[in-house]
């Protein structure tokens, strides 16, 4: 680990930007949505969400629209193309019939989704018949094969980029399980063969073809007629294919908006064990708070991006200077000067390594020994052969003996004492839930821990403690309000989801912002169940006796009432006082600045406006409020 003096001041969290760019280079996804637009897609309907019948075309298109809206937030560097086949008009680079690549301005056929694309695509159904049109592309007697053409166009679109850096997919939406059903004899066999060969060629180039069949309750999509061969299904899989495809369609619609991060090593570190024995580890950030994304400042007039320039001015001489390399700390009425180099030297108490100090039982790791999100550690044999073996041995021992390791992490960003807690792999039906490895937990130092409990124990009286009866009632209560399958990632962050919804509405100029559901609210119905209510009442009776209502009204709210009464009185007073001024007149004559801040605040308080800020801010707030 190089120790870059400039890095010393950077925080781990600061490199979210670099993470952002990193993501761009790592594997992305190129997707071509291939939608059948044959008349059959429009004529067949099935019951939709509101019990209304919806055409298959509508289902496919709205599914793509939903998926695009999620993707632009989750993986905005992925590229998509939307391509219809069995169309009247044609638009594609190969100039083949029956295939129409949908696009909007300022965008290549296969490109990152844009707001414009999503917006226009949202109302594609209105203009589809006029601009693109629907028409069967495979007819007996003609040699046209629109499915073949579509696959060809899709494959050509996906020629971009190497298959090593990008994952390429074709998603095929259709309700025709036998595309060559109308053709007979040798022509059919021939068409089937060439189409399958086309698909195989695409697959050989590393493109995966996925089928999203649309069926009806009374008319199952028979995948074995043709498509099983096209997507390479074995006989056994075919039976399970249909239910899973249905699920996939649902999943596409109901994805959580969640920024995806590529798996990336945060840092490679060495763990020094003893006597010069050291092993190589990679660290990963598995849990980090997600923010709405970086803010870009724009000029509000032109909406063009701005850059921030920082300049340093010497307060004594007014001279422009470079970023100072010296810093000062006032101490004993003097300025003590440190150079940047000295400060980084001070912080360099150890090398960038992780140094093993010993082991402790897990019970020594208290719940309050935490400061920031943990970092995941996984061994690597890339540079030091034998690392993984040692890591596995220690990992097993620590799990078996219920111990964690204490180490000093001398990284330049965040030198700290850390706990390494071994985590065994947890696998559920869905796959890996917790990877095997160790979690590095950053420990506090003495001055980071506050003794709140002692702060409140100054009186000499014993504090009241629960009796066994109280505890028993509490236990009953706990058993009643029990979340059986709680998992930490079951709740979406309502503020973030709201932000994404707002972003989407503004970007697509939607008229109203779609409601987001706050999943974090307690289950009111569950709480109102008889058993729960009874358990709560018994606990209440046991602890509070019959004085619960009395107490809740007097003790706590008493104070709050007083405070709010005071506030109300102040507002009334301000309203009275402020009536003594002719605000409109003062504002018109520019005399507001002659008033004192206290006087200005009277107006603000009377109109229930915030009273914070400097005098100018107050004046401008008053003017804004008056509409001037």
Task: Tell whether residue 371 is a contact of another protein (CB under 8 A).
Answer: yes
Which parts of 6-45 interact with another protein (CB under 8 A)? none
Task: Tell whether residue 205 is a contact of another protein (CB under 8 A).
Answer: no
**Which part of the chain contacts another protein (CB under 8 A), choosing from 90-98, 210-218, 243-251, 448-456?**
448-456
Task: Tell whether residue 335 is a contact of another protein (CB under 8 A).
Answer: yes
**Which part of the chain contacts another protein (CB under 8 A), choosing from 151-159, 354-362, 564-572, 592-600?**
354-362
d(CA 249, CA 117): 21
Q: Determine contact, residues 541/477, Cβ cutoff 8 Å.
A: no
Task: Tell whether residue 374 is a contact of another protein (CB under 8 A).
Answer: yes
Among 139, 313, 569, 579, binds another protein (CB under 8 A): 313
Beta strands across the sheet bearing 99-102 = 99-102, 79-85, 28-36, 166-174, 207-213
**Residue 126 vs 204, nearer CB to another protein:** 204
Tokens of 247: 């699920």
d(CA 626, CA 593): 16
Tokens of 407: 């180490």
**Residue 56 vs 395, nearer CB to another protein:** 395
Among 244, 317, 428, 596, binds another protein (CB under 8 A): 317
Task: Tell whether residue 533 is a contact of another protein (CB under 8 A).
Answer: yes
3-state secondary structure of 34: strand
Shortest Å distance, C-beta 453 to another protein: 4
Which parts of 40-79 interact with another protein (CB under 8 A)? 72-73, 76
Query: Distances from the Cα of 228 to the Cαs of 225, 234, 238, in angstroms?
Result: 7, 7, 7
Task: Tell whether residue 454 is a contact of another protein (CB under 8 A).
Answer: yes
The radius of gyration of the chain's CA atoms, rounded to the nearest angstrom, is: 33
Among 483, 517, 530, 598, binds another protein (CB under 8 A): 483
x/- site string to another protein, residues 265 to 304, per CB under 8 A? ---x-x-xxxxxxxxx---xxxxxxx-xxxxxxxxxxxxx
d(CA 409, CA 209): 47
**What are 407's strand-pairing partners?**
356, 418
Q: Which letter does DSSP use for residue 515 in this model?
A: P
**Residue 45 vs 423, nearer CB to another protein:** 423
Phi, psi of 283 (to 5 degrees): -110, 145
Tokens of 292: 């709405």
Among 81, 214, 398, 619, binds another protein (CB under 8 A): 398
Which parts of 81-120 interact with another protein (CB under 8 A)? 112-115
Among 52, 130, 143, 456, binds another protein (CB under 8 A): 456
Q: Does an H or E element contain 598, and which?
A: helix 597-606
Q: Determine contact, residues 397/295, Cβ cutoff 8 Å.
A: no
Distance of CA 403 to the CA centre of its chain: 34
**Residue 233 vs 611, nearer CB to another protein:** 611
Task: Tell whether residue 350 is a contact of another protein (CB under 8 A).
Answer: yes
Phi, psi of 541 (to 5 degrees): -65, -40
3-state secondary structure of 288: coil
**What are 77's strand-pairing partners?**
none
Task: Tell whether residue 517 is a contact of another protein (CB under 8 A).
Answer: no
Among 386, 531, 558, 613, binds another protein (CB under 8 A): 386
Q: 10 Å Cβ neighbour count for 571?
A: 14
Among 196, 266, 384, 609, binds another protein (CB under 8 A): 384
Which parts of 552-611 interact with another protein (CB under 8 A)? 552, 555-556
Among 337, 563, 569, 584, binds another protein (CB under 8 A): 337
**Which part of the chain contacts another protein (CB under 8 A), choosing from 23-31, 218-226, 312-320, 583-591?**
312-320
Shortest Å distance, C-beta 560 to another protein: 8
Shortest Å distance, C-beta 603 to another protein: 21
d(CA 128, CA 133): 6
Among 51, 162, 244, 308, binds another protein (CB under 8 A): 308
Task: Tell whether residue 623 is a contact of another protein (CB under 8 A).
Answer: no
d(CA 345, CA 353): 16
């Amino acid at each position: 680990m190089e120790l870059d003096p400039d890095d010393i001041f950077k925080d781990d969290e600061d490199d979210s930007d670099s993470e952002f760019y990193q993501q761009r280079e790592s594997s992305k996804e190129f997707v071509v949505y291939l939608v059948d637009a044959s008349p059959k897609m429009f004529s067949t309907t099935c019951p939709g969400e509101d019990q209304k019948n919806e055409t298959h075309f509508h289902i496919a298109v709205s599914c793509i629209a939903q998926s695009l809206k999620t993707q632009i937030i989750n993986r905005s560097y992925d590229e998509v193309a939307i391509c219809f086949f069995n169309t009247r008009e044609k638009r594609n680079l190969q100039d083949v019939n029956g295939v129409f690549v949908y696009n909007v301005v300022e965008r290549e056929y296969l490109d990152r989704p844009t707001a414009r694309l999503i917006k226009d695509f949202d109302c594609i159904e209105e203009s589809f018949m006029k601009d693109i049109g629907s028409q069967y592309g495979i007819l007996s007697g003609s040699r046209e094969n629109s499915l073949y053409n579509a696959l060809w166009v899709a494959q050509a679109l996906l020629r971009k980029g190497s298959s090593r850096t990008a994952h390429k997919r074709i998603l095929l939406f259709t309700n025709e399980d036998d595309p060559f059903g109308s053709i007979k004899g040798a022509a059919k066999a021939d068409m089937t063969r060439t189409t399958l060969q086309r698909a195989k060629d695409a697959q050989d180039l590393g493109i995966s073809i996925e089928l999203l069949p649309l069926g009806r309750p009374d008319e199952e999509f028979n995948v074995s007629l043709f498509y099983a061969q096209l997507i390479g299904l074995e006989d056994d899989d075919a039976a399970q294919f249909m239910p899973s495809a249905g699920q996939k369609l649902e999943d596409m619609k109901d994805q959580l908006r969640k920024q995806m991060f590529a798996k990336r090593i945060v840092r490679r570190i060495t763990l020094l064990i003893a006597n010069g024995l050291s092993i190589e580890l990679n660290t990963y950030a598995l849990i980090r708070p997600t923010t709405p994304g970086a803010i870009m400042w724009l000029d509000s007039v032109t909406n063009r991006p701005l850059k921030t320039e920082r300049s340093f001015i010497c307060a004594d001489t007014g001279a422009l200077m470079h970023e100072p390399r010296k810093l000062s700390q006032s101490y004993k009425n003097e300025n003590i000067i440190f150079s940047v180099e000295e400060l980084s030297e001070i912080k360099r108490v150890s090398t960038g390594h992780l140094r093993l100090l010993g082991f402790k039982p897990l019970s020594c790791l208290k719940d309050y020994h935490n400061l920031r999100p943990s970092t995941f550690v996984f061994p690597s044999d890339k540079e030091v052969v034998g690392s993984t073996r040692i890591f596995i041995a220690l990992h097993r021992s620590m799990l078996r003996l219920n111990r964690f390791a204490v180490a000093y992490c001398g990284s330049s960003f965040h030198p700290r004492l850390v706990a390494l807690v071994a985590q065994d792999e947890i696998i559920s039906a869905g796959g890996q839930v917790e990877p095997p490895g160790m979690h590095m937990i950053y420990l506090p130092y003495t001055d980071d821990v506050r003794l709140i409990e002692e702060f409140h124990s100054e009186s000499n009286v014993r504090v009241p403690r629960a009796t066994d009866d109280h505890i028993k009632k509490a236990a009953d209560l706990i058993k009643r309000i029990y979340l059986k399958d709680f998992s930490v990632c079951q709740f979406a962050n309502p503020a973030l989801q709201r932000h994404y919804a707002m972003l989407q509405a503004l970007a697509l100029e939607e008229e109203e912002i779609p409601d987001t559901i706050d999943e974090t609210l307690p289950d009111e119905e569950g709480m109102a169940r008889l058993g729960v209510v009874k358990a709560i009442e018994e606990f209440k009776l046991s602890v509070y006796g019959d004085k619960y209502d009395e107490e809740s009204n007097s003790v706590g709210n008493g104070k709050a009432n007083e405070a709010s009464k005071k506030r109300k009185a102040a507002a009334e007073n301000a309203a009275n006082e402020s009536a003594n001024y002719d605000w409109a007149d003062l504002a018109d004559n520019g005399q507001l600045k002659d008033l004192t801040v206290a006087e200005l605040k009277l107006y603000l308080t009377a109109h229930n406006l915030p009273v914070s800020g400097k005098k100018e801010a107050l004046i401008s707030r008053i003017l804004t409020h008056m509409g001037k």
